[in-house]
Amino acid sequence: MGGNSKDIKGFVSRNSIWLILIILILAVGVIQPKFLSVGNMVTLISGEAVRGIMAFGVMFAILSKGIDLTIGSTAALVAVITASFAQEADYANRYFEGGKPLPAILVILIGLAIGVVIGAIYGAIIAYTKIPAFIATLGGQLICRAGAKMYSDSPISKLTESYRFLGHAKIGPVPVIIIVFFLMFAISAFLLTQTRFGKNVFAIGGNDQAARVAGINVERTTVLVYVWCSFCAALGAILLTGKTGSATPASTGLNYELDAIAAATVGGTSHTGGICRASGVLAGILILGVINNGLVMLKVDDNMTNIVKGLIIVGSVILDMRKNAKRV
């Protein structure tokens, strides 16, 4: 009974976000053909990679009916600490006077470990005290940002090329940061659909009581969600400092959590929990990227760009909710 047309309809409905992305790209491209150049696409994706990776983290928190507002500040803290260990030996204003930079791989591991520890701490607070994730991570945001500023009151720059490899280098024509971005997409998608962890997060977001009765360790899973989220933030910090070549305690990663949450949301992750697709979030990231990059190319002023972004965020959720309501 028209099964085929139903399948197509279902496919389009499930992937409507990609359709929106394509329309947006074409629309900007028609007005400004330079937008469609390979060079610009590389710039666009490199520009969104850091926020995108953070979105792949925060989508797990949102899926579990939580949120993570700490991301940007965690990134700042990780950024200043790793940067301080990765400054060139001959630089005059070294954070550690004298001394030599640590091997890049060690610095990166330290940075990721800091992220994991921070995530574990507030993950545990959320899981075991049951306070809302919004509150716990709002507090964490202030504390981490203050921590970054206490660690250093000025920007830390002149970082070694080996440390900057992930954020700055290219393999052939392709920036490493883009490779890392797509790798993180693949890993998130894998975690989400192919592992027990992913299924458990879906269950907790869908109905945490039922998840508990079904034998899921809700607390442990919640801690892992924020560990992952914070890990992504730390990786973002390493890419960001590598890309820009410096870490600034007051501004590195500022408001990145909001961009990440926006991308995850536009990508169809439901704030009432239980709905998330990695491919949707990828599209969400790219949509915001097209707006960030494309509207600049079209010389739209900054305020107008933000208005468009705001409308897209709100509009996408309205559409999603209607779509989900219809399935009842």
Partner 1 sequence: MQQEYVLEMIDIVKEFPGVKALQGVTLKVRPGKVHALMGENGAGKSTLMKCLLGIYQANSGKIIYDGKEVHFKNTQEALNAGISMIHQELSPVPERNVSENLWLGRVPVKGFKVDHKKMRQDSLDLFKRLNLDVNPDAKMGSLTVAKMQMVEIAKAVSYDSKVIVMDEPTSSLTETEVEHLFKIIEDLTARNVAVIYISHKMEEIFRIADDVTVFRDGCHVATEEAKNLDIDKLITLMVGREMTDMFPKVDCPIGDVVLKVENLSAGTAVRNVSFELHRGEILGMAGLVGAGRTETAEAIFGMRHITGGKIYKDGKELHIKSPEQAIKNGIALLTEDRRGSGIIGLLSIIDNTVIADLKKYGFPLNHKKMRADTEKYVEALNTKTPSVDTPIKNLSGGNQQKVLVGRWLLTAPDVLIVDEPTRGIDVGAKAEIHSLLSKLAGEGKAIIMISSEMPEVMGMSDRIVIMHEGLMTGILDRNEFDSELILKFATSDEKYVKEAQ
Residues 126-165, one symbol each (x = binds partner 1 by CB under 8 A, - = not), give: ----------------------------------------
- Whose Cβ is closer to partner 1: residue 103's or residue 206's? 206
In angstroms, what CA-CA distances link 205 with 61, 133, 219? 9, 13, 13
Strand bridging mode 156-157 / 246-247: antiparallel
Residue 195 lies near partner 1 (rule: CB under 8 A): yes
Strand ranges in 154-213 using DSSP code E only, listed in sequence order? 156-157, 170-171, 174-175
Nearest distance in Å: CB 208, partner 1: 9
Binds partner 1 (CB under 8 A): choice among 32, 217, 246, 279: 217
Part in contact with partner 1 (CB under 8 A); list of ranges 82-90, 139-147, 151-159, 196-204:
196-204
Hey, what's the torsion of the CAs at 154, 159, 164, 167, to 10 degrees?
20
Identify the three-state secondary structure at position 217.
coil
Closest CA to 313 of 266, 277, 280, 278: 266
In angstroms, what CA-CA distances link 179 with 49, 117, 185, 186? 9, 26, 10, 11
Residue 327 lies near partner 1 (rule: CB under 8 A): yes
- Whose Cβ is closer to partner 1: residue 51's or residue 65's? 65
Rounded to whole angstroms, the Cα distance separating 15 from 7 reads 12
Question: Of residues 261-290, which lie at the interface with partner 1 (CB under 8 A)?
Answer: 274-275
**Could you count the other beta carbons within 10 Å of the beta carbon of residue 89?**
11
Binds partner 1 (CB under 8 A): choice among 108, 110, 156, 203: 203
- Whose Cβ is closer to partner 1: residue 82's or residue 200's? 200
Part in contact with partner 1 (CB under 8 A); list of ranges 26-34, 166-174, 203-211, 246-254:
203-211
Binds partner 1 (CB under 8 A): choice among 212, 254, 300, 319: 212
**Could you count the other beta carbons within 10 Å of the beta carbon of residue 255?**
11
- Whose Cβ is closer to partner 1: residue 38's or residue 213's? 213
Residue 200 lies near partner 1 (rule: CB under 8 A): yes
| Residues within the interface to partner 1 (CB under 8 A) | 190, 193-196, 199-200, 202-203, 206-207, 209-217, 274-275, 326-328
